[in-house]
Amino acid sequence: MSTFDNPFDPDRKLQAGCACGQHQTAAEHEQATALRCDPVESEEKRYESVVASAVMRAMFPQDAARRAFLKSVGASTALAALSQFFPLQTATEVFAQTGTPEKKDLKVGFIPITCATPIIMAAPLGFYAKHGLNVEVVKTAGWAVIRDKTINKEYDAAHMLAPMPIAISLGLGANAIPFAVPAIENINGQGIVLATKHKDKRDPKDWKGLKFAIPFDYSMHNYLLRYYLAEHGLDPDTDVQLRSVPPPEMVANLRADNIDGFLAPDNICQRAIYDGVGFMHLLSKEIWDGHPCCSFAASREFITTAPNSFAALTRAIVDATAYASKAENRKQIAEAIAPANYINAPVTVLEQVLTGTYADGLGGVKTDAKRVDFDPFPWQSFAVWMLTQMKRWGQIKGDVDYKAVAEQVYLATDTRKLMTEMGLTPPAGSYKSFAVMGRNFDPAKPEDYLASFKIRKAS
Amino acid sequence: MTSSLRLRAGLVSIVLLVAFLGIWHLAVRSTAPVATMSPEYAKLMGLTATQGKSAMPGPFDVGAKLWEHLQRPFYDNGPNDKGLGIQLAYSIARVGTGYLLAVLVAIPLGFLIGTSPLLSKALDPFIQVLKPISPLAWMPLALYTIKDSSISAIFVIFICSIWPMLLNTVFGVASVRKEWINVARTLEVGTLRRAFTVILPAAAPTILTGMRISIGIAWLVIVAAEMLVGGTGIGYFVWNEWNNLSITNVIIAILLIGIVGMLLDQILARFTRMVTFPE
């Protein structure tokens, strides 16, 4: 089902093919149109359409009958007729009543990179306020600090790398404290940048002995870079040096020749190009198109003590993510998040990242509208994949109950319910298979997947 | 004679400053060859890449930016962007709190240790181990146990400024001349009165010296601590501008940190002069 599935559309294809007719299967279509959510002018409007859709579906359970009815009278007449004998207004009001937040003044931590776009933009563009919250977004110095401050309850929720809540819940590199992820911040949007002097060394097989920086050990960046190197026959633990370096220091280190390259979050990649110190070797999307990067995370404790605040926060984030997923809003967003209070970076750099028309550092201008994209649904299969990589590189020892951990940390079920209430159409399943560099990943068989890698840390 | 010496020293200072600024200005002039690039590409690139502008700002850039900051030192654009005046105030408040707490602990404790040879010997190994620990090494432990980053920063200031004061107090109290204490004793002065009228004034110059060392260290440490915990303060400002690779603002912050540090030191130096006595 596509997110913008409209039951008032008589021409929507029902089974074979997809809704728009341009794709072979509904799944493909879904991928192409994933979350093209329209920003709805007002919350009432959205609820109204949700309620109307539900009523329409209930009255005509048969698709064929509904279509015949719509064809004969037209959508607007049908809606008018519906509201004649069904109290749509009242139903909408009842539906829109969500619990009042237990706590209205919240603090949300973020790291100043474009991955945090939905979290940051929700403040200046008013998404938090729209959902009845007064949120202060606080810039934080690094991943370890954001982790500690969230654990210490200085922040109610925070921007974290997608694997971090899993690591915290498992007690890797910190005390085990149950955390949960209601929404993924961004998909794609990272890149491998090399120093300009390596511009003729484009084949990873020549990279033996080079020094690379990654932002944090428990990061998609770490796993993706290791994966990429290993697929090219390099053992990331012995053939190259990987260093954890805070993103802003990466550009300075690249300029100073301390590192040869990095797989880093964006605006840092583009910043290195902007300052003329490196070039874009590869977008992370070319390793795995649609990979998650950062997440929106909160502790279980916060979720149980303030469930309504948490739900409102998640709604605001999902709403902002939906807005950010639309290409035409990206320029406005770049301007909103560039000031010193937020990301603190040149607008040109952010625009290049968000619009996908960017200088590649070698004299060319490239365009890839999906360089970074936004899709909040926390697929549990993402969590399973991360767990396989944690195990592959020795961060987890022994047996892992992949499914249990994924379901405990990635709240796909709750988010699905919330998105349905908001009038979006989230995917029906919580697991999907995907391909990373052409290698298929089946979330049902993580151990087989893990066993298929030749290069891994000996356990 | 002294006035002409002062005049000459001032002149030399100015000459050095001008020479420094001149060399700085010359050193950062754009020298790198400019690669030819299409205008479309150039529009997406920074000045360093398009005009071969040095990544290091010149003295005029810094001056202009400093003027801009001085025009509005107290603006507040939300939690992550405040004026330099506000940031400095936050830092000074943190240093002040941590430092005063350290004074309250170190001086009475030092007094006690200094007057009792037994305590002095017993506590010595602890002090010797704790003293050389870098204050920032306490940071993760503080964050973990105190569970509040701004209190952790104050704790770090407290722990780093306590040692010089403590040791100097111990030393000052222990080395009060025996004759003076004996005189007090023959005059049958009570313990408390002896402490306040004989030992304290005698040890005051040493204690103040310890306090002066401490304030210097505290000011050094606050910048690093704020870079770690973020939020507010001049250290956070440095980090935030570093994040944006804005060397100009970093240089301005360095300048201000230096000036405030000097002022704090001068204040303590004045106090020290007030309590020194000729022997």
Contact A339 B81 (CB under 8 A): yes
Closest partner residue to B239 (CB to CB) among A141, A251, A340 is: A141
For A292, the 3-state DSSP assignment is strand
| pTM summary value | 0.78
Nearest residue to A298 (alpha-carbon basis) of A164, A403, A195: A164
Is the CB of residue B150 less than 8 Å from the CB of residue B229? Answer: yes
Give the residue carrying structure tokens 């802003």: A248
Alpha-carbon gap, residue A46 to B91, rounded angstroms: 47
Residue in B80, B86, B148, B248 to test binding to A, most A beta-carbons within 10 Å: B80
Scanning B218-237 for CB atoms below 8 A from A yields: 227-231, 236
B24 CB neighbour count, 10 Å cutoff: 16
B35 touches chain A (CB under 8 A): yes
Alpha-carbon gap, residue A291 to A69, rounded angstroms: 42
Is the CB of residue A159 less than 8 Å from the CB of residue A108? Answer: yes
The CA-based dihedral angle spanning residues A224, A226, A230, A233, taken in that order and rounded to the nearest 10 degrees? 120
> What pLDDT does residue A117 have?
92
Summarised one tens digit per residue, pLDDT across range A401-453 is 999 999 999 999 999 998 998 888 889 889 998 999 988 999 999 999 999 99
Residues of B in contact with A168 (CB under 8 A): none
Q: How far is A149 from chain B (nearest CA, A)?
A: 7
Closest partner residue to A275 (CB to CB) among B43, B55, B227 is: B55
ipTM summary value: 0.75
For the cut 70, the answer to whether the pLDDT of residue B146 exceeds it is yes
Scanning A233-262 for CB atoms below 8 A from B yields: 248-249, 251-252, 255
DSSP sequence for A213-228:
EES-SSSHHHHHHHHH
Contact A345 B80 (CB under 8 A): no
> In the 8-state DSSP scheme, what is residue A245?
-
User: Which residue type, as a one-letter code, is found at position A399?
Assistant: D
> What pLDDT does residue A102 have?
86
Is the CB of residue B169 less than 8 Å from the CB of residue B210? Answer: yes
Residue in A113, A146, A152, A273 to test binding to B, most B beta-carbons within 10 Å: A152
B196 CB neighbour count, 10 Å cutoff: 12
> What pLDDT does residue A2 have?
40
Closest partner residue to B148 (CB to CB) among A154, A273, A352 is: A154
- Helices B200-229 and B84-115: crossing angle in degrees, nearest 10, is 140
Q: Which residues contact B163 (CB under 8 A, 6 or more apart)?
A: B106, B127, B130, B131, B214
User: Which residue type, as a one-letter code, is found at position A306?
Assistant: A
Alpha-carbon gap, residue A123 to A317, rounded angstroms: 10
Is the CB of residue A449 less than 8 Å from the CB of residue A386? Answer: no
Contact A275 B49 (CB under 8 A): yes
For the cut 90, the answer to whether the pLDDT of residue B264 exceeds it is yes
Alpha-carbon gap, residue B136 to B160, rounded angstroms: 9
B241 touches chain A (CB under 8 A): yes
Q: Which residues contact A15 (CB under 8 A, 6 or more apart)?
A: none
Q: How far is A359 from chain B (nearest CA, A)?
A: 6
| Helices vs strands, H then E, count in chain B | 13, 0
For the cut 50, the answer to whether the pLDDT of residue A35 exceeds it is no
A368 touches chain B (CB under 8 A): no
B44 touches chain A (CB under 8 A): yes
Contact B149 A138 (CB under 8 A): no
Summarised one tens digit per residue, pLDDT across range A249-306 is 888 889 888 999 999 998 899 999 998 889 999 999 999 999 999 999 999 999 999 9
> Across all residues in chain A, what is the average pLDDT?
83
Contact B245 A348 (CB under 8 A): no
Alpha-carbon gap, residue A253 to A199, rounded angstroms: 17
% of chain A surpassing 70 pLDDT: 80
Quick one: A354 exposed, middle or buried, by C-beta within 10 A (0-12, 13-18, 19+)? buried
Alpha-carbon gap, residue A261 to A309, rounded angstroms: 41
Summarised one tens digit per residue, pLDDT across range A362-401 is 888 999 988 999 999 999 999 999 999 999 999 988 888 9
3-state helix, strand, coil in chain B (%, to 5): 80, 0, 20
Quick one: B171 exposed, middle or buried, by C-beta within 10 A (0-12, 13-18, 19+)? middle
B20 CB neighbour count, 10 Å cutoff: 11
* H helix intervals, A24-133: 26-33, 43-59, 63-73, 75-85, 88-96, 117-121, 127-130
Summarised one tens digit per residue, pLDDT across range B197-214 is 888 889 999 999 999 999
Alpha-carbon gap, residue A103 to A157, rounded angstroms: 13
